[in-house]
């Protein structure tokens, strides 16, 4: 073998080795960039922190957001949702005005015409809204069917014929000025949100609110629970601290819990645990009684539940949050309050005003959006809500929003047509993107009636979390126990006032602390 051949072989070997090394380096670099996109989250307590990529993170005792898309499950899976079955005819205590409760819930439902939507992928990136106002119009087939438009309600919305599922509205090319419609918040200063004005904004940027720190809100708002504090905490501690408990005292304890709306199952479970614990451990002081009661109540609140709100983007798409509930429970207010928290967390939020019955509802949401720097997609009055929700999600995807929150119209759970319409809103949205979170907003002051509502909503749209509002106005904070027990769905957020920052993540320990 001559020298030239040997040199040739050596060169070939070196080139081969170099190629292998290069290949390994390239594959490593690709792996890093792939897993790098969603790992940095900005907690809402004002610090910047790297978190694991498992989806959820704990921002101190602040709000806890996670990714949906099936990646984040419940730490403690809920028991199966209780289906109402024949109980759907239960209408005791329901509002009577215009109520169609006399229509049996299990009677044949009016059909919903399926109209083919464009392929989910086919129009991604091309669909835009017609103009900067972000107002969407009902698809032609909906607009052309005035019989489906409900009468403007005096007390409650009249039951409309469900409109046909809309085809995605054909939208003309958007003008260049609407290229960046989702405000980019200043993530570095989460408590004083300064989103950059969208390029399209023709007027001066609206004055943005300062957002109260989100960490430890439940603790700070504990005074708001004073009414429940008296009804549960003080009464129970008084009874437990009275020394040896005879049967009559145990009955008083039971009554106290029932009156605070814990519901029979939770009341029995709490009493049982207290009896067992008192038989085996000595409770001599008020502190002992408090510690025991706290332990038992916290356990009953299932601390293992995953209460994170699935509002983080995943797979390159925004999270989709649907907010549902009966009239006046606080859906719009909650949507606005939560948008504030998300914006403070550095998220791009887009709000969909799918309440097309009341123009005031969309205006209300628009005001919230302007105050926090979140864009609002709204429809014409009486437009098909499913169409508006669909448009909002399309726009959220097109413009790189992190989360699209859809505020739906209040509807009585006893109204078959309105409940069908809500089911349709979810189905239509899901043709574009999965709905990650369905938050049922329940007014805590209505007590047991809230449970009846919750059962029907759970059946129609598979709720994933409950927001209990107006806990500041009731002595019946025990409804939290009942809702979870009955639905197997976690209470994720609580409303503790009308103020923009009076929304807190629900934390069993802090909640029980506030009660005792
Ligand atoms: N005290 C108190 N009031 C609240 C709370 N949440 C909402 N509200 C008030 O409840 C009222 C109704 O709130 P909305 O957000 O308009 O309710 P909604 O469910 O969107 O109403 P509809 O769209 O008509 O169904 C408003 O006056 C809110 O300020 C809360 O946590 N505490």
**pLDDT given at position 24:** 60
Q: Is 149 annotated as a binding residue?
A: no
- Delimit the CATH 3.40.50.300 region(s) of the chain: 67-97+311-463
Q: Evaluate: CB of 422 within 6 angstroms of ligand 1.
A: no
Residue 456 in contact with residue 88, Cβ under 8 Å? yes
H/E segment holding residue 448: helix 448-461
The model's confidence at residue 26, banded by pLDDT at 50, 70 and 90, is low
Closest CA relative to residue 120, chosen from 310, 312, 315, 378: 315
- Delimit the CATH 1.20.120.140 region(s) of the chain: 220-300
How do the residues of the chain divide into helix, strand and coil, expressed in percent and rounded to 5? 40, 10, 50
**pLDDT given at position 25:** 59
CA distance 514 to 236: 14
Q: Evaluate: CB of 498 within 6 angstroms of ligand 1.
A: yes
Q: Which of 322, 330, 363, 469 to mutate to test the pocket of ligand 1 (most atoms within 8 A of CB)?
A: 330
Strand partners, 438: 322
Instruction: Kindly report the backbone phi and psi dihedral angles of residue 211, in degrees, each rounded to the nearest multiple of 5, phi listed first.
Output: -105, 125
**pLDDT given at position 99:** 34
pLDDT tens-digit readout, 227-283: 777 778 788 888 887 767 788 889 999 999 998 889 999 999 999 999 998 888 777
**pLDDT given at position 51:** 32
Q: Evaluate: CB of 474 within 6 angstroms of ligand 1.
A: no
The residue behind tokens 């709306």 is 261
Q: Evaluate: CB of 328 within 6 angstroms of ligand 1.
A: yes
Q: Which of 445, 498, 500 to mutate to test the pocket of ligand 1 (most atoms within 8 A of CB)?
A: 498
- Tell me if residue 20 falls in helix, strand or coil: helix
State the closest ligand 1 atom to the C-alpha of 469, by its place in the atom list counted from 1: 31
Q: Evaluate: CB of 361 within 6 angstroms of ligand 1.
A: yes
Instruction: Kindly report the backbone phi and psi dihedral angles of residue 396, in degrees, each rounded to the nearest multiple of 5, phi listed first.
Output: -60, -40
DSSP state of 86: G
Q: How far is CA 204 from the centre of its chain?
A: 31
Average pLDDT, the chain: 70
Q: Which of 221, 333, 440 to mutate to test the pocket of ligand 1 (most atoms within 8 A of CB)?
A: 333
Q: Which of 5-19, 38-52, 411-425, 464-478 has the lowest mean pLDDT?
A: 38-52
Gap from CA of 79 to ligand 1 centroid (Å)? 30
- Tokens at 235, concatenated: 């009464």
pLDDT tens-digit readout, 279-327: 887 777 878 888 898 999 999 999 999 999 999 999 889 999 999 998 8
Instruction: Kindly report the backbone phi and psi dihedral angles of residue 508, in degrees, each rounded to the nearest multiple of 5, phi listed first.
Output: -50, -45
pLDDT tens-digit readout, 13-22: 888 888 877 7
Q: Evaluate: CB of 497 within 6 angstroms of ligand 1.
A: yes
The pTM of this model reads 0.66
pLDDT tens-digit readout, 322-350: 999 988 999 999 999 999 999 988 999 99
Does domain 67-97+311-463 fall under CATH 2.160.10.10? My reply is no
Q: Is 330 annotated as a binding residue?
A: yes
Q: Evaluate: CB of 156 within 6 angstroms of ligand 1.
A: no
pLDDT tens-digit readout, 388-420: 999 999 999 999 999 999 999 888 877 777 888
**pLDDT given at position 69:** 65
**pLDDT given at position 389:** 95
Mean pLDDT confidence for 112-132:
36
CA distance 386 to 493: 25
Q: Evaluate: CB of 331 within 6 angstroms of ligand 1.
A: yes
State the closest ligand 1 atom to the C-alpha of 496, by its place in the atom list counted from 1: 31
pLDDT tens-digit readout, 139-194: 333 333 333 333 333 333 334 444 445 444 433 333 333 333 333 333 333 333 33
pLDDT tens-digit readout, 212-242: 776 767 766 677 777 777 778 788 888 887 7
- Considering the four listed CATH numbers 1.20.120.140, 3.30.530.20, 3.40.47.10, 1.10.1330.10, the one that applies to the domain covering 220-300 is 1.20.120.140
- Asked if the model's pLDDT at residue 511 lies above 50, the reply is yes
């Amino acid at each position: 073998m001559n020298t030239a051949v040997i040199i040739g072989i050596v060169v070939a070997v070196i080139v081969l080795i170099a190629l292998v090394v290069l290949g390994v380096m390239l594959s490593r670099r690709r792996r890093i960039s792939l897993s790098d996109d969603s790992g940095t989250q900005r907690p809402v307590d004002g610090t910047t922190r790297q978190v694991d990529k498992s989806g959820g993170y704990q921002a101190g005792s602040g709000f806890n957001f996670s990714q949906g898309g099936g990646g984040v499950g419940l730490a403690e899976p809920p028991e199966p949702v209780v289906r109402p079955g024949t109980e759907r005819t239960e209408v005791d205590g329901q509002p009577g005005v215009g109520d169609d409760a006399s229509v049996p819930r299990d009677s044949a439902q009016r059909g919903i015409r399926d109209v083919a939507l464009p392929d989910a992928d086919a129009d991604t990136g091309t669909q835009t809204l017609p103009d900067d106002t972000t107002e969407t119009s009902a698809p032609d087939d909906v607009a052309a069917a005035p019989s489906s438009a409900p009468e403007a309600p005096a007390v409650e919305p009249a039951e409309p014929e469900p409109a046909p599922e809309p085809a995605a509205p054909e939208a003309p090319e958007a003008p260049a000025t609407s290229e960046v419609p989702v405000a980019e918040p200043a993530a570095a200063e989460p408590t004083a949100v300064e989103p950059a004005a969208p390029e399209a904004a023709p007027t001066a940027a609206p004055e943005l609110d300062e957002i109260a720190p989100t960490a430890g809100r439940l603790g700070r708002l504990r005074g708001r629970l004073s009414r429940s504090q008296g009804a549960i905490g003080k009464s129970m501690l008084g009874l437990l601290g009275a020394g040896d408990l005879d049967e009559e005292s145990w009955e008083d304890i039971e009554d106290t819990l029932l009156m605070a709306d814990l519901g029979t199952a939770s009341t029995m479970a709490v009493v049982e645990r207290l009896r067992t614990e008192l038989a085996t451990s000595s409770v001599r002081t008020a502190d002992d009684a408090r510690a025991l009661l706290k332990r038992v109540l916290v356990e009953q609140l299932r601390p293992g539940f995953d209460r994170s709100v699935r509002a983080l983007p995943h797979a390159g798409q925004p999270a989709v949050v649907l907010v549902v509930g009966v009239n006046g429970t606080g859906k719009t207010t909650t949507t606005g309050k939560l948008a504030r928290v998300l914006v403070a967390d550095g998220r791009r939020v887009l709000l969909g005003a799918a309440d097309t019955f009341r123009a005031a509802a969309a205006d209300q949401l628009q005001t919230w959006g302007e105050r926090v720097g979140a864009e609002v997609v709204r429809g014409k009055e009486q437009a098909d809500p499913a169409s508006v929700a669909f448009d909002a999600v399309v726009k959220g995807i097109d413009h790189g929003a992190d989360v699209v929150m859809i505020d739906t119209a209040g509807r009585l759970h006893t109204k078959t047509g309105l409940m069908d319409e809500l089911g349709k809103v979810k189905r239509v949205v899901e043709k574009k993107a999965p709905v990650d979170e369905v938050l049922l907003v329940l007014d805590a002051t209505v007590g047991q009636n809230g449970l009846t509502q919750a059962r029907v909503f759970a059946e129609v749209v598979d709720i994933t979390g409950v927001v209990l509002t107006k806990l500041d106005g009731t002595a019946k904070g025990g409804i939290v126990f009942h809702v979870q027990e009955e639905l197997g769905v976690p209470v994720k957020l609580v409303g503790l006032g009308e103020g923009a920052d009076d929304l807190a993540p629900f934390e069993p320990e802090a909640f029980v602390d506030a009660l005792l």
